[in-house]
Chains A and B, each alone.
Chain A
Amino acid sequence: DVKVTQSSRYLVKRTGEKVFLECVQDMDHENMFWYRQDPGLGLRLIYFSYDVKMKEKGDIPEGYSVSREKKERFSLILESASTNQTSMYLCASSLQASRYFGPGTRLTVT
């Protein structure tokens, strides 16, 4: 079975803090993704990576950056957290078109 893990299930941060969300997959997938999920808006793609050190912007990259130094690890960075970044963050890896998701990190910015 594919296993995607995320470093935290719940996180509370203050406005202006730098926030790191970590994601690790154990299936040697080349592609990895970060989504955010909000009620009524569904899943929106923030960034994705198709190889180590490679990244592409998704639909809503503003306020975020990513890092992929190793194939199995993909990090999402909030440079200066704001309250409108309070959300559920989902990491995924993919084999061809199928996405495999981690359990999610519920981030609250106060």
Chain B
Amino acid sequence: AQSVTQPDIHITVSEGASLELRCNYSYGATPYLFWYVQSPGQGLQLLLKYFSGDTLVQGIKGFEAEFKRSQSSFNLRKPSVHWSDAAEYFCAVGARSGGSNYKLTFGKGTLLTVNP
């Protein structure tokens, strides 16, 4: 069974600073990996995903993530954070569960606060 760990429950950064959110996964084969963002009172929005190929993935809103198989990690980065990036971020790992079905397991989330 797959699992996801987001070690940081809450991170605070200053506007304009760089950001890295950590995600570690456990899965026996090559996983499908995702980052989602959730603004207060909203649903989850897909930021980026990794299925195969280039291990550095570009997403929306200026985010990127790097898949490191040796470290079982898929960390999310942004070079310069904006106040509007304040939200909760979820990492997820997916695995095919039969036919066209995929089981996704979500981490418990990292809450990002951005100071002016």
Give residues in A with beta carbon < 8 Å to B. 4, 9, 30-31, 40-43, 50, 90, 92, 94, 96-104, 106
Complex: A12 Cα to B102 Cα, angstroms:
33
Contact B102 A94 (CB under 8 A): yes
Q: Is the CB of B101 within 8 A of A50?
A: yes
Number of interface residues of B (CB under 8 A): 24
25 residue pairs of the A-B complex, CB under 8 angstroms, read A9-B41, A30-B100, A31-B100, A31-B101, A40-B108, A42-B90, A42-B107, A42-B108, A42-B109, A43-B90, A50-B99, A94-B102, A96-B100, A97-B34, A97-B51, A97-B96, A98-B34, A98-B49, A99-B46, A101-B36, A101-B45, A102-B43, A103-B42, A103-B43, A104-B41
Residues of B within 8 A of A42 (CB): 90, 106-109
The 8 closest A-B pairs by CB, nearest first: A101-B43, A97-B102, A42-B108, A97-B94, A101-B44, A43-B106, A97-B32, A103-B43
One digit per residue, 1 when the CB lies within 8 angstroms of any chain A CB and 0 when it does not, for chain B 44-75 equals 11100101000000000000000000000000
B residues neighboring A (CB under 8 Å): 32, 34, 36, 41-46, 49, 51, 90, 92, 94, 96, 99-102, 104, 106-109
Listed residue (B41, B44, B45) with the most chain A CB atoms within 10 angstroms of its CB: B44
A7 to chain B, nearest CB (A): 14
A interface, over-half SS: strand
Docked Cα-Cα span, A82 to B66, in Å, equals: 43
**In the complex the two chains form, what is the Cα distance from A43 to B32 in whole Å?**
18
With A31-B101, A98-B49 known, 4 other A-B pairs at CB within 8 A are: A30-B100, A90-B44, A97-B49, A101-B44
> Given A90-B43, A103-B42, are A97 and B104 neighbors across the interface (CB < 8 Å)?
yes
Q: Is the CB of A98 within 8 A of B46?
A: yes
User: Are A41 and B108 in contact (CB-based, < 8 A)?
Assistant: yes
A64 to B3, CA, bound (A): 25
**Complex Cα–Cα for A92 and B36 (A):** 13
Q: Which residues of B contact A9 (CB under 8 A)?
A: 41
